[in-house]
Amino acid sequence: MFYRDDDQSWSGGAFQGGAFRDDRERYWRESNPDPYPDPNPSQLQQPDQVVSQQQIPNQPPQQIPQQVQNPNQFPQQVQNQNPNQPQVQNQNQNQQQVQSQNQNQQQAQNQNQNQQQAQNQNQVVRGFYDQSCPSAESVVRRTMVDSFRRNPLLAAGILRLFFHDCFVRGCDGSVLLDRKPGGPIPEKESDVNNNSITGFRVIDDAKKRLERMCPGVVSCSDILALAARDAVWISGGPRWSVPTGRLDGRVSLATEADNEIPPPDLRIRDLRKAFLAKGLNTHDVVTLSGYSFTGAHTIGRAHCPAFEDRLYNFSATNAPDPTVNLSLLDSLQKICPRVGNTTFTVSLDRQTQVLFDNSYYVQILASNGLLQTDQQLLFDASTAGLVRAYAADSSMFFRAFAKAMIKLSRVGLKAPGEGEIRKHCRRVNP
């Protein structure tokens, strides 16, 4: 089997960014009876409103007194002090309760209608599962946190998995499908995905939990989109509201993955064309281009063959790329020998390897970009300015990243007749 199907444990001891990730996890666990409750959609970050790690409180909010939590439940002795209280107040309260129930029912009906309309129109909406499976997002988030506590490097794997899914046949979960007996080779076994994508068990675990709670409701493609968002947030990056309501595809072909996913040595103008074909622009290239090679470039890794030519035979010159920083070149040649380096990996952001930040762009400015496409971002007039802007302003990068992720998550959505909600993410329904 070509793809990585094992979510290996990570035992690297203390790691940069880990303390912050643990702070976020502790905040959720201590401040909520349910460790991962569904947040109010209005409180989630919209595309142009992204939270930074400094805005997350370090201490849980104070517990609300019982009497404040239940204002309508007064002590029995207080209720008995006024036996002659007019019945009009009780009638008014009953009327208010009936009106409130009617309003809630109407809101639920309207939401169900909006959900059905969204699917019929091949669209996704925020809060799609609020009525049909209210705990959907919290289940995915809990599964992600449990997995990342064992292996924080899975964040990059999930992000890479999401990009490779959306860039081939759209965001339909086709990258998750296994090969059927006698069937064609699926995307996960393509050359471009050879030994480079992981995180399948995380998606499987979340799906199993959701099927027990809400059978046949939450799609695998939505689980992957939510997991990608949570991977960024757990790693110290921004959090945004993910539009949901996707349908899962029924076809997965390795040949399409090899043709659609950009290779790591692609020129910037060709990379822009590849992104444009998916409805993404030059800003999205700078913000998301590292996806296609390493997961999110700010927390991703690359196999040595992805940049071997830069170390030994740049542009068939039998010499290293002259733009590579000499100290970086020496370090990389030791990690990636000229022969037998197919299994070695190197962090794309060697300064903060598991922390989601803007250090990747700072490294490009210092000629420490690992892949050829990384360093080309600085040498192309259409992208250089944005690289400098992201390097100087992490908040700007966070906002742009959230917008680009939402935009990416809308690529190639399936219409009702084209997709389904799989019962198992690795195979289509019978």
Instruction: Point out the annotated binding site for substrate.
Output: 262
Neighbours of 126 (CB within 10 A): 16
Closest CA to 193 of 157, 226, 155: 157
Q: Could you give the CA distance from residue 230 to residue 226 in angstroms, rounded to a whole number?
A: 6
Bridge partners of 303, per DSSP, are 345
Q: Could you give the CA distance from residue 408 to residue 275 in angstroms, rounded to a whole number?
A: 10
Which among 164, 283, 303, 424 is annotated as catalytic? 164
Residues 149, 151, 157, CA angle at the centre, nearest 5°? 125
Instruction: List the binding residues.
Output: 165, 168, 170, 172, 174, 187, 262, 297-298, 349, 352, 357
Helices 381-392 + 372-379 axis angle, to 10: 100
| Catalytic residue status for 424 | no
CA-to-CA separations, 366 to 181, 390, 401, in angstroms, rounded = 50, 14, 22
**Residue 262 DSSP SS3:** coil
Q: Could you give the CA distance from residue 124 to residue 246 in angstroms, rounded to a whole number?
A: 6
Instruction: List the binding residues for heme b.
Output: 297
Are 15 and 203 in contact by the 8 Å Cβ rule? The answer is no
Residue whose tokens read 């699917």? 119
Phi-psi region of 339 (alpha: psi -120 to 50; beta: other; left: phi over 0): beta
Are 223 and 144 in contact by the 8 Å Cβ rule? The answer is no
Instruction: List the binding residues for Ca(2+).
Output: 165, 168, 170, 172, 174, 187, 298, 349, 352, 357
Q: Which residues are catalytic?
A: 164
